[in-house]
Amino acid sequence: MPELRQDYATKEWVIIATERAKRPHDFLKGRPEPTPLPSYDPKCPFCPGNEYMTPPETFAIRDGTLPDASGWLVRVVPNKFPALIPNGRPRRSRSGLYLRMEGIGHHEVVIESPEHDKTLALLSQSQVEGVAKAYRSRYQALNANPANELVLIFRNQGEKAGTSLIHPHSQIVATPIVPVPIRRVLYEAERHYDAMGRCVFCDILEHELDCGERIVCENQHFVAFVPYAARVPFEVHILPRYHQASFGEFPDEQISDFAAILKLVLCKLYFGLKNPDYNFAIITAPHYSQGDPHFHWHLKILPRLTTTAGFEIGSGMYINVSLPEENAKFLRECEVPQE
């Protein structure tokens, strides 16, 4: 019997299609072993020596080298083909019946490593910590500007996930509005807080830790689990264990735990499912909701093992062809090589 499950935070229903359900190993069928890439590509704008090919950097981890020179570990630069550009505060205007505004905001690229061929999962713990520091530093800088209502950090791994450049990188977009679907999550979280006096994500976390069957891994400050109403196979959410509305509140001493859990989950996907394409995004409180008692930032990883089709596009509702509990068990038990 198929089943519908409601996401406790967003109130969205997801169909868990047991009649067409795939076992974790079914997703491995026909998937090739990951193939090595060259560790340097002279034409790649993100490779060392090609710093002149990008706009001037906004952040870097360097050992005494000059900005925009070689000799960095992590580097953040404005996107050369930005979706939004910085230029004060956007003005709204009418176009006939419709509302429009200038495309003001920021669009940056986090170059995660000087090495062309290393995906984020395979970087060293200290390198992933460098990436986490870049995320936090740029988040804080962009979020300080009130024209940036939301700062979204995300990553596209592989062609099916929409990436065009191989060199490991993530992106940060600061938008001049709060997107409607994010507003909805905030609104539902606020309703829950009104009723229960608790953060809905804190409640979910407590429940998941109690019941344990969807937990993937955890450390002192973070927990990773497959959500009860996962939208796609092997969806994983990473949440700070203690309430934090915004990614900006994330203190120094938690960086290494954040890097460790992110690396571990990505490694479990890489080794367990043979390097699947995936997207991840950090969903955090908007500029005007920093410190909210009812929101809780989280990182959502959505592997692209299946294709969203007309049903999802038409209804906005998902059909998941796998069981969240089975996916979690598979990932929990998946061992990864030690560094």
Mark 137-176 with x for binding to a copy of itself (rule: CB under 8 A) and - for no binding. Answer: -------------x-x-xxx--xxxxx------xx-x-xx
User: Nearer to a copy of itself by C-beta: 72 or 292?
Assistant: 292
Residues near 95 by Cβ (< 8 Å), separated by ≥ 6?
Answer: none
The reply on whether position 246 binds a copy of itself by CB under 8 A is no
Point out the catalytic residue in the list 116, 167, 169, 298: 169
The binder of a copy of itself chosen from 18, 39, 125, 220 (CB under 8 A): 18
CA torsion, points 16, 29, 158, 233, in degrees to nearest 10? 10
Q: What angle do CA 119, 108, 101 make, to 5 degrees?
A: 140
- Interface of this chain with a copy of itself, residues 64 to 123, rule: CB under 8 A: 81-85, 87, 90, 95-103
- Interface of this chain with a copy of itself, residues 273 to 332, rule: CB under 8 A: 279-283, 300, 302, 306-311, 313-317, 319
The reply on whether position 203 binds a copy of itself by CB under 8 A is yes
Q: Quickly list H helices, 144-199.
A: 180-196
Q: At closest approach, how far in Å is the CB of 105 from a copy of itself?
A: 8
Per CB under 8 A, which region of 10-18, 121-129, 134-142, 241-249 contacts a copy of itself? 10-18
User: Nearer to a copy of itself by C-beta: 11 or 241?
Assistant: 11
Q: At closest approach, how far in Å is the CB of 147 from a copy of itself?
A: 13
The binder of a copy of itself chosen from 11, 118, 241, 332 (CB under 8 A): 11
What is the rounded CA–CA span in Å between residue 257 and residue 125?
Answer: 10
SS3 label, residue 51: helix
Query: Is 169 noted as a catalytic residue in this protein?
Result: yes
The pair phi, psi for residue 183, each rounded to 5°, is -50, -40
Strand 215-218 relative to strand 278-283: parallel, antiparallel, unpaired? unpaired
The reply on whether position 207 binds a copy of itself by CB under 8 A is yes
Burial environment of residue 309 by CB neighbours within 10 A (0 to 12, 13 to 18, 19 or more): exposed
Cα–Cα separations (whole angstroms), residue 133 to 63, 171, 333 = 15, 14, 29
Structure tokens at 229: 């109403």
Q: At closest approach, how far in Å is the CB of 277 from a copy of itself?
A: 10
What is the rounded CA–CA span in Å between residue 81 and residue 103?
Answer: 13
User: Nearer to a copy of itself by C-beta: 69 or 166?
Assistant: 166
User: Nearer to a copy of itself by C-beta: 288 or 311?
Assistant: 311
Straight-line distance from the first to the last Cα atom of the chain, in angstroms, rounded to the nearest whole number? 43
Structure tokens at 309: 């089709």
Q: At closest approach, how far in Å is the CB of 257 from a copy of itself?
A: 22
Catalytic machinery residues? 169
